[in-house]
A = this chain, B = another copy of it.
Amino acid sequence: MTELLGKPVGDSINESLKGTIADLEGKGIVPTLAVVRVGAREDDLAYERGIKKKFSDMNCQVTVVELPEDVSQEDLDETVKALDNDSEIHGILLFRPLPKHLTDKNIVNTISSGKDVDCMGNANMAKLFAGDKDGFAPCTAQAVMEMISYYGIETKGKKITVIGRSLVIGKPVALMLIGANATVTVCHTKTADLKAECQAADIIVAAAGVAKMVTSDFVRPGQIVLDVGMNVDEEGKLCGDVDFAGVSETVDSITPVPRGVGSVTTSVLLKNTVTNASRTIL
């Protein structure tokens, strides 16, 4: 069994960005991501720390705008609009879900598509749907594609079962895999025989958000398992959607959680931010 780690993938992305970041620096531009956070949820803070470290390591910048838990819709909207109009900001990430009295429905579409580095708005979603690679996909979905590319995993003609149909992972990754010539089956809570759908696949992408739901009886030798889950198990430890201990005994290769797909996400966020910053000097 081969463990497909995220670190070399993230490193490779970072490496590919160094030249561009240096060029930008020479022109006085520091690629800058604005993070808009409402309140201070622990998982938002953890993600924010990861983003800050990655950007700082690469001589890029993160501007965190923290808004109080009870911020008004108007103030939130104005904040995001101001960031969109700020030429020194190259990407905007709004942490979601928002508190219940707020909606992101309109605001995500006021962000220009170039700054929409996590595919929150219509323009990038439509590009994703249309297979137009000019746009940015949701970072975690893109991280799956980066893993596939880095490890030279063949997708053409392969049967891939995607577990989950969310807007941020399941659906976008399914569309990108279809674009990569895979035969893709999208499964979810209403799927009648998930075990059979997993057994039939060459590659399984688990993005259900349910701890350790893919167990050893779901898999067979020769398969590749990409685990996008990020859950906490009964012992309070971080775990994926796949029961790693059981499944890793059978399959050909598998991404661990943590240290797998999730660790590539911040590199994709950096890549998208740098890509948009570099467009300003074209």
Contact = CB atoms under 8 A, between A and B. Distances in A.
Copies in the complex: 2
A182 B197 CA distance: 13
B187 A186 contact: no
A188 B159 CA distance: 12
Nearest to A156: B190
Contact of A126 (B122, B181, B183, B188): B122
Interface in A100-135: 121-123, 125-131
Contact of A183 (B131, B181, B186): B186
A183 B190 CA distance: 8
Contact of A129 (B125, B183, B186, B197): B125
Contacts of A121: 126
A229 B9 CA distance: 42
A206 B156 CA distance: 21
Nearest to A174: B186
A126 B185 CA distance: 21
Contact of A125 (B130, B174, B178, B191): B130
Given A121-B126, A122-B123, A159-B192, 19 more contacts: A122-B122, A122-B125, A125-B126, A126-B129, A129-B167, A129-B171, A130-B167, A131-B167, A157-B192, A171-B178, A174-B186, A181-B188, A181-B190, A183-B185, A183-B190, A183-B191, A183-B192, A183-B197, A184-B186
11 contacts: A121-B126, A122-B123, A125-B125, A158-B192, A178-B186, A178-B188, A181-B188, A183-B185, A183-B190, A183-B197, A184-B186
